[in-house]
Amino acid sequence: MSKLALSLALTCTALADKVPTGAFDQGPGDAPPDWVEGRRIQERLIRLFAIALQGSPRTSPCASGVGGFKAALHLRGLIPTLHMHRLNLPLNDAETRRIEHILAAERLLPHA
């Protein structure tokens, strides 16, 4: 598995942790699948996944993914800083603003 593929796989797992409602919302086991709702949920997760890509190609895939999610959590008021370990290049202001726009479009900001 390439570093990019591994980074994206880990980022998807992290996304499911950050947006738990919808990531595995399957409803009652005996109910028929709601394919329309399932598609809506998956398309939303795809849009949110763009958070992990905002630092690329300026940063490494890992720094982009981790930095993107740290920025998203910080913008949502869930963590106090978006500081990353010094070996990772942090996201810049423009990349952080793009993440803010993604969160705002999905109504995930506390002030949106």
| pTM greater than 0.85 | no
The Cα-based distances of 32 to 21, 26, 29 in angstroms read 19, 10, 8
First to last CA, the chain: 38
Rounded CA separation 29/26 (Å): 8
Low-confidence winner among 2-6, 14-18, 64-68, 99-103 (lowest mean pLDDT)? 2-6
User: Can you tell me the mean pLDDT for 9-30?
Assistant: 54
pLDDT tens-digit series, residues 37-89: 888 989 999 999 999 999 999 998 889 999 999 999 999 999 998 888 878 88
